[in-house]
Amino acid sequence: MEAIHDLATEYQRANRHKLMVLTKWRNATPERDEFCHIRSVETLTPSLWISAIFLDGSKRHFRPEKIRPATPDEERVAGESGFMNPTH
């Protein structure tokens, strides 16, 4: 159990300030409701459970394989849309 807790801590530390993208496979360019920042990482044996806040203001929970770090081009597009790191 300690190993999964350590994994959650490390995952959150590694991705804390990164813009992330939900991998819905809808479009080549992510849309507003696909950009997010990780709010918290919880343990749910045998995996992790991510809570995130999205550009559209919604909050959702999912497994970590559903998101990935945004590419530099996606960060630029999100920045042009006015997406700042949300208040948690």
Q: Which CATH class is domain 2-80?
A: mainly beta
CA–CA distance, 21 with 70 (Å, rounded to integer):
6
Minimum mean pLDDT range among 38-42, 64-68, 83-87? 83-87
Query: What pLDDT, in 10s, does the model give residues 68-80?
Result: 999 998 888 888 7
The pLDDT, as a whole number, for residue 27 is 61
CA distances from 78 to 6, 10, 17 (A): 31, 25, 14
**pLDDT at residue 88, rounded to an integer:** 40
Residue ranges per structural domain of the chain: 2-80
pLDDT tens-place string over residues 4-42: 888 888 999 999 889 999 876 656 778 778 889 999 999
Q: Evaluate if residue 84 carries a pLDDT over 70.
A: no
Sign of the alpha-carbon torsion through 64, 86, 57, 32: negative
Looking at residue 31, its pLDDT comes to: 79
Residue 50 clears pLDDT 90, i.e. is over it: yes
